[in-house]
Amino acid sequence: MNPILIALDVPSAAAALALTDALRGSVAGYKIGSQLFTAEGPSIVRTLAERGDKVFLDLKFHDISNTVAGAIESASHLGAWMMNVHASGGQAMMSAAAEAADRAATAGRPRPLVIAVTVLTSMSAEALASVGVHRSPAEQVVHLALMAKASGMDGVVASPQETTAIRDACGHDFLIVTPGIRGGSAEQTSGRQDQSRTMAPGDAMRAGASYLVVGRPITGASDPRSAAQAVIEELRGTGLFSTDPAKKGTGLS
Ligand code: C5P
């Protein structure tokens, strides 16, 4: 299946809708994060969901269990397909989020996918130590991924470099959603921008990613649809990409 999720890091609904109109049919779905959500509010989620688009609502909920559960229910009502929480909110918070997703499903809607952010890729070992975490970032990522799995999360967000270790620890039914895609067919004239721990699309899939979050290499291209097609061609070369839903690649769902 197509694993490409487009990061709609744009300031307005008009800009987001122009991108989704250009890319519809060539990608799996769209990620709405803090910038677009804060500018346009829930209506942009509803609008895309009503058009049949898969929306990953990337608001990284991190609060007491009751509040996070309520946020998951609200996001489900908007029609979001995937949403996320911070794993560092703990097992009870993640379990409450998973139970809220289950309740959303029993209310006649499809169960949303809930995934956990482990360690932000901007956190170095030094930055982790400064907040009292003395494991290496790689160890902390696997620790939190295992906790997320035990709490009923459907998967995690992880940098491409962490994917193999998480896949080994958490198995093949666990979603790994990977940003930081650069190089290969996702190379831009402007280079890596602010991303540092990057991987090309094909390599990220081979490492075990389920979905690739791609922003500027596609959204910043003069022809976003052609840029997406170039990534698709690279992914076809891995043998892990199929337009035939019956033929799933390893780790894809
Ligand atoms: O434009 P680019 O491809 O860098 O976009 C990547 C997207 O993934 C952005 O929306 C960014 O916020 C998000 N992200 C990330 N690194 C993480 C978590 C999320 O780049 N560790």
Residue 189 has a pLDDT of: 53
Q: Would you say the CB of residue 167 lies under 6 angstroms from ligand 1?
A: no
pLDDT digits (tens, 9 = 90+) for 35-45: 999 999 999 99
Between 192 and 167, name the one with better pLDDT.
167
Integer Rg of the chain from CA: 17
State yes or no: pLDDT of 136 exceeds 80: yes
State yes or no: pLDDT of 145 exceeds 80: yes
pTM of the model: 0.93
Residue 247 has a pLDDT of: 43
Q: Would you say the CB of residue 33 lies under 6 angstroms from ligand 1?
A: yes
CA angle 65, 105, 150 (to 5 degrees): 50
Is residue 201 a contact partner of residue 211, using CB atoms and an 8 Å limit?
no
Mean pLDDT, range 18-26, rounded to an integer: 97
Q: Would you say the CB of residue 1 lies under 6 angstroms from ligand 1?
A: no
Residue 106 has a pLDDT of: 80
Q: Would you say the CB of residue 71 lies under 6 angstroms from ligand 1?
A: no
Where along the chain do its domains lie? 4-236
Mean pLDDT, range 223-234, rounded to an integer: 96
Q: Would you say the CB of residue 213 lies under 6 angstroms from ligand 1?
A: yes
In the reported structure, the alpha carbon of residue 75 is separated from the centroid of ligand 1 by a whole-number distance in angstroms of 20
Q: Would you say the CB of residue 142 lies under 6 angstroms from ligand 1?
A: no
In the reported structure, the alpha carbon of residue 176 is separated from the centroid of ligand 1 by a whole-number distance in angstroms of 14
Catalytic annotation present for 60: yes
- 111, 112, 110, 132: which is closest to 123 by C-alpha? 132
In the reported structure, the alpha carbon of residue 231 is separated from the centroid of ligand 1 by a whole-number distance in angstroms of 17
In the reported structure, the alpha carbon of residue 179 is separated from the centroid of ligand 1 by a whole-number distance in angstroms of 5
Q: Which of 60, 149, 247, 248 is catalytic?
A: 60
For residue 246, what pLDDT band results from cuts at 50, 70 and 90? very low
For residue 193, what pLDDT band results from cuts at 50, 70 and 90? confident
Distance (Å, whole) CA 192 – CA 181: 9
State yes or no: pLDDT of 59 exceeds 70: yes
Residue 245 has a pLDDT of: 44
Mean pLDDT rounded to a whole number for the chain: 92
Residue 243 has a pLDDT of: 57
| Mutation probe of ligand 1 site: the residue of 5, 6, 9, 10 with most atoms within 8 A of C-beta | 9
Q: Which residues, including other chains, have CB under 8 Å from residue 128's CB and lie 6 or more apart?
A: 119, 134, 135, 137, 140
- 188, 189, 141: which is closest to 169 by C-alpha? 141
Fold classification of 4-236 is: TIM Barrel (3.20.20)
Q: CB-side exposure of 100: number of CA atoms within 13 Å? A: 25
Provide, rounded to the nearest whole percent, the portion of the chain with pLDDT above 90. Answer: 82
Distance (Å, whole) CA 100 – CA 111: 9
Distance (Å, whole) CA 138 – CA 140: 5
Residue 191 has a pLDDT of: 66
Between 122 and 177, name the one with better pLDDT.
177
CA angle 35, 149, 157 (to 5 degrees): 25
